[in-house]
A and B are shown apart, each in its own frame.
Chain A
Amino acid sequence: MVNRQAVGAHYGLRDWLAQRVTAVVMAIYTLLFLAVLAGMPKLDYPHWKALWALPVIRYATLLFLLSLFIHAWVGIRNIFMDYIKPADLRLVLYVLVIAALVCYTAWSIRILWGT
Chain B
Amino acid sequence: MAIVSGMHRISGAVLFLFIPLLLWLLQQSLATQQTFESFKSAVSSPLLKLVLLGLLWAYLHHLCAGIRHLALDLDRGTELGAARASSHVVLIVSVGLTLAAGAMLW
Q: Which residues of A contact B (CB under 8 A)?
A: 20, 23-24, 27, 30, 45, 48-49, 52, 68, 72, 75-76, 79, 104, 107-108, 111, 115
Q: In whole angstroms, what is the CA distance A49 to B36 when docked? A: 10
Q: What 0/1 readout, one digit per residue, does chain B (19-33) give for beta carbons within 8 Å of chain A?
A: 110010011011101
Known: A27-B63, A75-B16, A104-B20. 11 other contacts (CB 8 A): A20-B70, A20-B73, A48-B30, A48-B36, A49-B30, A68-B19, A76-B16, A107-B23, A107-B27, A111-B23, A111-B30
B interface residue numbers (CB < 8 A to A):
9, 12-13, 15-16, 19-20, 23, 26-27, 29-31, 33, 36-37, 63, 66-67, 70, 73
User: Once bound together, how far apart are the Cα atoms of A24 and B63, in whole Å?
Assistant: 10
Establish whether residues A115 and B16, one from each chain, have CB atoms under 8 Å apart when the complex forms. Answer: no
Q: From DSSP, what is the main secondary structure of chain A's interface residues?
A: helix
Q: Is B30 touching A115 in the complex (CB atoms < 8 A)?
A: yes
A23 touches B23 (CB 8 A): no
CB distance from A68 to the nearest CB of B (A): 8
User: CA–CA, A24 to B69, complex, Å?
Assistant: 12
Q: Is the CB of A104 within 8 A of B66?
A: no
Q: How far is the CB of A99 from chain B (nearest CB, A)?
A: 13
